Amino acid sequence: MTVRIPFDNLSFSVLTEDIDVSSFRCGEPDLTEFLIEDALENQAARLSVTRLVSYEGQIVGFFTLTNDCIIRKGISDDDGEEWYPYPHYPALKIARLATHQEFEGRGVGRAMLLKTVAIAMRLSQYVGCRMITVDSKPKSEGFYLKYGFQRALMKKKKDTIPLYRDFYRSYQEAERRMSPPLSVFDGGGRREP
């Protein structure tokens, strides 16, 4: 039986040149290659930011985020806002997400998604951001669907499946059900200076 790693036992940090990522291996060689060869360069060029997830001093996962948008016609009528007049919704894109092959099935991927939602919530206090998007590999689609993502209502890309999550809609629903409300934990929507 695989033992899940509690979220509180994981640490998150932004990739820097001082961190050795050469021993990281996941099931997708192109993701491993991106982390080792390209992530720092993309970050330096302000194209994306890569965060590492560590457990007991070992890198157990990473995820890379960038800005995105999703066409309004690509989302379900239940998502977004009926009154919103623009053709696209602002989004945060999960450009890459990978768990070290020795730690698969231990909750690392879930933790990275939770952290991504927290980042999206924080980002939305400074700039418009309503959706989280990802172009999923077919074998990873089930993982994202399990955590509230849904297929975008648009053409499938060559070798990926466009998915999205209206994270703010999920937040609003949770806010109504929880006691105390989630806003107690995120500053009640106040914006920091």
Give the pairing of strands 131-136 and 88-99: parallel
Q: What is the DSSP string of 105-124?
A: TSSHHHHHHHHHHHHHHHHT
Rounded to the nearest integer, the mean pLDDT of the chain is 89
Looking at residues 159-179, what average pLDDT do you find?
79
- Which residue ranges make up each domain of the chain? 7-184
| 149 or 181, which is more confident | 149
Kindly provide the b/e burial profile for residues 137-168, where b requires at least 16 CB atoms within 10 angstroms of the residue's own CB: eeebbebbeeebbebbeeeeeeeebbbbbbbb
- Which pTM was predicted? 0.87
Options 3.40.50.2300, 3.40.50.1470, 3.30.70.120, 3.40.630.30; which CATH number does 7-184 get? 3.40.630.30
Per-residue model confidence as pLDDT tens digits over 48-104: 999 999 999 999 999 999 999 999 999 999 899 999 999 999 999 999 999 999 999
